[in-house]
């Protein structure tokens, strides 16, 4: 484990290779799972503001779920998560050329909104757990992402490099630079053993 400011970071971020391979997985992470994507209260407010701007991208089923229960709910672990369709698919997902994508991210990339997507989605495979005195930054292993592990390993992309934008967005440039410095020293020391 590594400590940076008020975070405790799993060494898996440095040791594990990871890079999404949408051509292979088809965005299955937006469909599979026990519940929706974790949200913060401020993200709920932001998504409710931008909802009219992404509405037309959503499926009819997604619109029905949102109209009935809203954009989020509290799951069995008492976490605030995105609403889901048919007990699986995120309400903000849509299909494009056989690949499941995020309507929020699409609107961001088109310059319609300033909000990229929920930080929990952007950070995946990292999962954050907030404790009283620190935030645990852990690498989550999910079998549906095995192609991302293979792709990352083939192209020698460690998880922390793949997640540069997401980690910087969540923790800042200084924090990310410190992580890179630690990773470099860790890898150098490992090579000498």
- pLDDT tens by residue, 43-83: 999 999 999 999 999 999 999 999 999 999 999 989 999 99
**What's the pLDDT at 185?**
93
CA distance 41 to 45: 7
Residue 156 reports pLDDT greater than 90: yes
How confident is residue 5, by pLDDT bands cut at 50, 70 and 90?
very high
- Of the listed ranges 61-70, 138-147, 180-189, the least confidently predicted one is 138-147
Is residue 116 a contact partner of residue 104, using CB atoms and an 8 Å limit? yes
Strand partners, 129: 136
Measure CA of the first residue to CA of the last residue in the chain; give whole Å: 19
Residue 51: partners with Cβ closer than 8 Å, 6 or more residues away: 66, 71
The domains of the chain are located at 1-18+125-193, 26-122
Residue 119 reports pLDDT greater than 90: yes
The residue-averaged pLDDT of 108-134 equals 95
To the question of pTM greater than 0.75 for the whole model, the response is yes
**What's the pLDDT at 191?**
81
Mean pLDDT of the chain: 94
Residue 117 reports pLDDT greater than 80: yes
Residue 133: partners with Cβ closer than 8 Å, 6 or more residues away: 6
Residue 28 reports pLDDT greater than 90: no
Residue 8 reports pLDDT greater than 90: yes
Convert the pLDDT of each residue in 74-115 to its tens digit. 999 899 999 999 988 999 999 999 999 999 999 999 999 999
């Amino acid at each position: 484990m590594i400590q940076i400011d008020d975070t405790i970071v799993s060494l898996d971020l440095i040791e594990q290779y990871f890079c999404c391979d949408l051509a292979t997985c088809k965005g299955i992470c937006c469909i599979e799972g026990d519940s929706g994507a974790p949200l913060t209260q401020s993200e709920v407010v932001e998504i409710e503001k931008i909802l009219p701007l992404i509405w037309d991208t959503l499926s009819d089923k997604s619109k029905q779920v949102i109209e009935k229960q809203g954009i989020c709910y509290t799951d069995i672990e008492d976490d605030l998560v995105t609403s889901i369709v048919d007990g699986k698919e995120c309400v903000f997902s849509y299909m494009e050329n056989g690949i499941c994508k995020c309507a929020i991210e699409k609107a961001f990339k088109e310059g319609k909104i300033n909000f990229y997507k929920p930080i929990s989605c952007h950070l995946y495979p990292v999962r954050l757990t907030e404790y009283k005195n620190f935030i645990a930054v852990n690498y989550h292993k999910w079998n549906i992402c095995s192609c991302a592990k293979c792709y990352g390993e083939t192209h020698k992309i460690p998880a922390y490099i793949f997640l540069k934008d997401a980690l910087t967005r969540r923790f800042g440039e200084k924090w990310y630079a410190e992580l890179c410095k630690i990773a470099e020293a860790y890898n150098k020391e490992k090579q000498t053993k």
